[in-house]
Structure 1
Amino acid sequence: MEVYSLQFLFMGIIFLLTTGVGLAPVLLRGVSKKLVTRAVIRHRILSCASCFGAGVFIFVCFMGLLPAADRKFHHFLEELGHTDESWEAFAEFPWGFFVVICGFLIIFTIDKLVHVIENQRRGGDTSNAASRTLLAKASIDPATHITDSESNGVPPPNYVKENDAEHEHGGHGVPTSIIFLLALGVHSLFEGMAVGLQTQKEKVLEFSVAVLVHELVMAFSFGMEVSNSNTLSRWGKGLYVIIFTSTIPLGIAAGVGLQSANSAYREIVSAVLEAFATGN
């Protein structure tokens, strides 16, 4: 089997498996709630699965992706050094590791910005819910705008319940924020691109299995979060999952297209993208 055929095969396998795993919590929401009734247990299971998937991907990153990306830079700079001796000075610098760190910092910054935006949005939703509750109470009882408990600085019992319910339903930022979905999509896109940029069957198989294990955990976690949303229909939840799981095949296709393109800058672009993807 050729390298391209193997890459396209894993493209379909990764998409089908991650989509199935991601849609399972959405389609079986009632069953999953009965099986895992306590949020603490559910979060512990997801945490252990995420640690396992991340460990597999980190192992492949340090043992395969990182050395391969660094070798591509050295090979490219050595070829330039044969034509122009001025490039030999640049070959001494560890460009592969430098681009990996840049990729990590960029994705890390995007992730932190998304969490800040998500926390601000949830804080705004909670404040709006509190305002709506107080206005509703005032309109129901116009003669008494402030109850005894409110005058003492203690919110009424029904306000606490409504506010807690609003926080419980609005606390899941993943299913309601397209920004968070795009951030995860960018991360998965570069993971798929790392598979598509490989030119050896062994490397394609190794990286594809690692990406598959990692993305299965991410898809299941994403599906669990989406299934808890009360603002999306079942079709909307399924669409969120499919958009997320389609980013890996898109990344693989982009990497394959770049490798097959006849361009003078193909090698350097491939090296930069592979190193950047390793930093993700």
Structure 2
Amino acid sequence: MNQIRMRRFNNTEVCFSLCIGDEGELLMMDSDVSPGLHIKLLTLVLMLCFSLLCGFSPVCVMRRASRFSSDPGSRHRVLSLASCLACGVFLASCLLELLPDYLNHMRDTFSHLRITLHFPLSEFILAMGFLVVFVVEQMLLAFREQTSDAPHEKQALMDSQDRDAAPNRRRRSVSWSDGSPSADDGRSHVGLRVFLLLFCLCVRAFLEGLSAGSRRERVLESCVTLLLYEGLVAFSLAVRLTHHALRRTLLAGALPLFAVACPAGIGTGLALDGATAGPQVQLVRCAVEGLTAGIFINVCVLGSVWQELGSPKHRIHKVAFLLTGFALVTAILFSKV
């Protein structure tokens, strides 16, 4: 079967296909091509590569610096300042993007359903996400205290020399965070906070990619902004994971998982092009956004920011780096206007 194709561009791209069958019949088929499809596909590939590059770059730099540098104090100071920069990025992402988008989606959803709420449902979902982290952490700490009763009893039977050496070993174990007294408590459930941080960022990246994949206006501007924003978040995530001194296998799994989240959202948005989500789907999405926002507030503000700024060393420098990260996200979000 021979095919003759003609393409005409007039605001929207239309493809005409002329098919000549065996009996000489002339058939004409037309199919609409979504505007900006090539830009979205290119963004999908660039997003994956750029996120992996921004994610693994600080990990490789810190690994190489720790190998060639003989001063552990300077490495910890640089890593702490970079972690404050990441905290500023997460704080701005939460306060300037995640919360406003969630509240707007909730308001638009209930306005579309013509439902008037007399109860602060949006704030209640947000509080539930915040309290989930708090309750789970307290349960883990209570379980840890119960399981540590036996070691305390054993320590009471130690001689005086071993008891005097135990506090010194504990002080050396927390020296990695500039002497912060809360660091030892934070490492007892650091795995939970790392998992929740990765979960929130992946969910947010997937939803951002889903919105970008289904967008029909200002495709190029939104894709470029999303590319820069996801690269900055990938860099901040890598810094936070490196700051927690995780194993290489966990880093090698966490960073690609985040890098795939946004392209997966873009691909899903392209696959669902033209399909409208029902009210049930919109309500589920709003609930997920609210719980994610509440979890992110707890993990970011109470976990990362409070831990970093709780150390008495280099307070002014840490505040400056935190404000720098906040300003970077603000500049990227301002470019959307």
Hey, what's the Cα distance between the residues in 1 that align with 2:223 and 2:260? 15
Paired residue for 1:248? 262
1:157 and 2:190 correspond: no
Q: Deviations over 1:50-101 (max 9, x none)?
A: 4566687479959xx959x95x998xx6xxxxxxxxxxxx65x689xx9xx8
Paired residue for 1:184? 201
The Cα of 1:209 is off from its aligned counterpart by: 3.5
Between structures 1 and 2, the one with greater helix share: 1
Paired residue for 2:42? 9
**Retained in 1: the 8 A contact 2:54–2:234?**
yes
The Cα of 1:113 is off from its aligned counterpart by: 2.3
Change in Cα spacing, 1:197 to 1:221, as seen in structure 2 (3 Å) is same
Normalising by structure 2, report the TM-score: 0.52
Paired residue for 2:215? 198
Mapping 1:102-181, distance limit 5 Å: 102=122, 106=125, 109-110=128-129, 112-114=131-133, 116-118=135-137, 120-121=139-140, 124=143, 131-132=150-151, 135=154, 145-148=157-160, 156-162=164-170, 165=173, 167=184, 170=187, 173=190, 178-181=195-198
The Cα of 1:164 is off from its aligned counterpart by: 6.1
SS of residue matched to 1:199: coil
Hey, what's the Cα distance between the residues in 1 that align with 2:172 and 2:98? 38
Change in Cα spacing, 1:217 to 1:177, as seen in structure 2 (3 Å) is same
Paired residue for 1:37? 76
Mapping 1:58-69, distance limit 5 Å: none
Change in Cα spacing, 1:55 to 1:231, as seen in structure 2 (3 Å) is closer
Q: Unpaired runs of 5+ in structure 2?
A: 1-33, 175-183, 294-337
**Retained in 2: the 8 A contact 1:195–1:252?**
yes
Change in Cα spacing, 1:58 to 1:107, as seen in structure 2 (3 Å) is closer
The Cα of 1:250 is off from its aligned counterpart by: 1.3
Q: Deviations over 1:182-212 (max 9, x none)?
A: 3332222222222122122x0x334333433
Change in Cα spacing, 1:196 to 1:225, as seen in structure 2 (3 Å) is same
Mapping 1:33-112, distance limit 5 Å: 36-38=75-77, 40-50=80-90, 57=97, 70=108, 102=122, 106=125, 109-110=128-129, 112=131
Paired residue for 1:207? 222
**Retained in 1: the 8 A contact 2:241–2:251?**
yes
Identity, % of aligned pairs?
A: 16
Change in Cα spacing, 1:40 to 1:178, as seen in structure 2 (3 Å) is closer
Hey, what's the Cα distance between the residues in 2 that align with 1:179 and 1:160? 32
AA of the residue aligned to 2:213: G
Number of residue pairs aligned between Structure 1 and Structure 2: 240
AA of the residue aligned to 2:58: P
AA of the residue aligned to 2:235: F
Q: Unpaired runs of 5+ in structure 1?
A: 78-89, 139-144
Change in Cα spacing, 1:128 to 1:237, as seen in structure 2 (3 Å) is farther
1:258 to 272, 275, 288: 272
Hey, what's the Cα distance between the residues in 2 that align with 1:240 and 1:175? 14
1:27 to 49, 60, 63: 60
AA of the residue aligned to 1:2: P
Paired residue for 1:235? 249
Change in Cα spacing, 1:27 to 1:188, as seen in structure 2 (3 Å) is same
Hey, what's the Cα distance between the residues in 2 that align with 1:107 and 1:253? 28
Change in Cα spacing, 1:21 to 1:171, as seen in structure 2 (3 Å) is farther
**Retained in 1: the 8 A contact 2:205–2:261?**
yes
Hey, what's the Cα distance between the residues in 2 that align with 1:115 and 1:247? 26
Hey, what's the Cα distance between the residues in 1 that align with 2:151 and 2:64? 34
1:224 to 232, 235, 239: 239
Paired residue for 1:142? none
Hey, what's the Cα distance between the residues in 2 that align with 1:273 and 1:208? 25
**Larger Cα-atom Rg:** 2
Hey, what's the Cα distance between the residues in 1 that align with 2:231 and 2:90? 9
Hey, what's the Cα distance between the residues in 1 that align with 2:65 and 2:133? 28
**Retained in 2: the 8 A contact 1:258–1:266?**
no
Hey, what's the Cα distance between the residues in 2 that align with 1:252 and 1:123? 42
Hey, what's the Cα distance between the residues in 2 that align with 1:252 and 1:276? 21
**Structure showing greater relative contact order (alpha-carbon pairs closer than 8 Å, 6 or more residues apart):** 1
